[in-house]
Structure 1
């Protein structure tokens, strides 16, 4: 799966475009960035309802290619600029986190290894 596929599956809207053809193998859904840092390994996309700069910084530290904001949330300009400077794709979807994760999973995207 590539970022472009996620956009289509989640009926998303691009906020900040990085590499839409980048390979995505796994996903993580969380609003707690401390959990992402502590428990997530080899994740390519982060789904979250949290809209602050820490989301982009966390994604950068974890080498994530894409952040999906659920429930139609939209980051402010400072967050968008930060993502642009890190070449991280930002998108939003109207779906809630549970539904968005379920759609990606049912379309073949893994959650990674067990904790």
Structure 2
């Protein structure tokens, strides 16, 4: 699946990175606790979260996550968007809650990320 399909499935708005919507996604990780992201992310993972701040982008950058979907209609501030742009991270926003967003993606073939040992 690619980010364009994720955008359509979640009826999401592209806040940043329209030109990168053809990037492939294999797994999803969803949480608001960024320390959990450090333990459970694998290659080509998209992060779904309600945590809208620069820490989310820094965590995504550290884990080579190239796309973040903010749930519940949340949108990041300018500082967070600027950081995402500098690190080439695609930003989407959906009105769906986290649970619903995960269910939509799972029912369309995306699996959850597995524990990664580093």
How big is the alpha-carbon RMSD for the aligned residues of Structure 1 and Structure 2?
A: 1.4
Q: Counterpart of 2:13?
A: 13
- TM-score when scaled to structure 2? 0.92
Q: Confirm or deny: 8 A CA contact 1:45 1:65 kept in the other structure.
A: yes
Q: Counterpart of 2:48?
A: 47
Q: Secondary structure at the match of 2:92?
A: strand
Q: Does 1:95 align with 2:96?
A: yes
- Summarize deviations over 1:76-115 as a string: whole Å, max 9, x none: 0000010011111001000000000000000001113368
Q: Counterpart of 2:33?
A: 32
Distance in 1 (CA, whole Å) between partners of 2:13 and 2:52 is: 16
Consecutive unaligned residues of structure 2, counting only runs of 5 or more, are: none
Q: CA deviation at 1:65?
A: 1.5
Q: CA deviation at 1:19?
A: 1.2
Q: CA deviation at 1:20?
A: 0.7
- TM-score when scaled to structure 1? 0.94
Distance in 2 (CA, whole Å) between partners of 1:28 and 1:91 is: 15
Q: Counterpart of 2:58?
A: 57
Question: Runs of at least 4 residues of structure 1 off by over 2 A?
Answer: 38-43, 112-115
After alignment, is 34-43 or 21-30 more displaced? 34-43
Size of the aligned set, in residue pairs, is 115
- Summarize deviations over 1:35-69 as a string: whole Å, max 9, x none: 11123333520000001101001111111111000
